[in-house]
Copies of this chain bind each other. A is one copy, B any other.
């Protein structure tokens, strides 16, 4: 009987448990394999912490947010930050991981995670571990897959929040600024911005002009719309570069109120338009709660497919969604870059056609 291991790394996201369930059910139902969950991501691999996942263990977890295995998002077995004589040094625990993998008598390893987790998975594959990757991120920025599970749920959560802020914006004639996750790619901001009817959407792919942003706010005001909704990705930055933000923040007499880019944009709009702004940082609310129906299905498909890849021996691959089909891609290719919004993407044109400003 084959034994497969599974671990979840990086920030949690809705649908991880659905993947774990799908991997376990497929492996147990269809092949009679044994499935072992490694606790707290790669940390559990270093510390040899794992437990058997029975059919019962994964029953009923389809709808649960988070991950029943726990995760760690600062662990890197190849360069783990460790305290040594009061300093932080980076140690390589990969050999220990390989030993533990053998001690657990695992024959393959399913790694569920985002960019960071998948990079490490690929390194282990290069060292001979039969690895299958499953992409997970609410940012939707993993290269090679049209969508990652967790993204649809995050867009739903963000859109619901924008809907809520609309009522306050309208009642108070305010600019409401919503900061959503997305350090390198603006998928979440763009999709929730279109879905929530945002008036201005700022994404990392398009450095914005604060003048254009203010112009849009004032233009709306002139047309009698005394409120605006601005959706901004945490990784968005003004033309001139991220340094501009740092400098302005540093010179501000009121640094405490400033934090992320949302606060920066608010301050700029208030200073230039005298219209009151309010900032809401969605942060962890975006990744919380149970997965949407779409994510439950995508996660289940990913999990099932991962087991088929193991059966076929296609290691070193990552499960992907391409159009409506599930397929796979080499991990080498998948971790080679980040999936950003291409400048000609239909969603950008659609946003503009709706009268939304992209800050340029």
A interface residue numbers (CB < 8 A to B): 8, 11-12, 14, 16, 21-22, 25-26, 29-30, 40, 60, 62-67, 70-73, 146, 152, 155-161, 163-168, 170-173, 176, 191-192, 194-197, 249, 255-259, 278, 280-281, 283-285, 287-290, 292-294, 296-297, 300-301, 304, 307, 322-326, 346-347, 349-350, 353-355
Instruction: Output the least CB separation between A187 and chain B (Å).
Output: 11
Evaluate contact between B172 and A12: CB separation under 8 angstroms. Answer: yes
How far is A258 from B256 in the complex, measured between Cα atoms in Å? Answer: 6
Instruction: Output the least CB separation between A240 and chain B (Å).
Output: 21
Instruction: Output the least CB separation between A296 and chain B (Å).
Output: 4
How far is A257 from B176 in the complex, measured between Cα atoms in Å? Answer: 21
How far is A10 from B25 in the complex, measured between Cα atoms in Å? Answer: 34
Q: Which residues of B contact A354 (CB under 8 A)?
A: 21-22, 25-26, 29, 300, 304
Please list 25 pairs of residues, one from A and one from B, whose beta carbons are closer than 8 Å in the complex, sorted by A's number: A22-B353, A25-B355, A29-B355, A60-B197, A63-B163, A71-B172, A72-B172, A73-B172, A152-B294, A156-B292, A157-B164, A158-B293, A159-B293, A161-B285, A161-B288, A163-B288, A164-B284, A164-B285, A195-B294, A196-B293, A256-B259, A297-B347, A304-B354, A323-B324, A326-B346
In the complex, the chain B residue whose C-beta lies closest to that of A307 is B353
In the complex, the chain B residue whose C-beta lies closest to that of A61 is B197
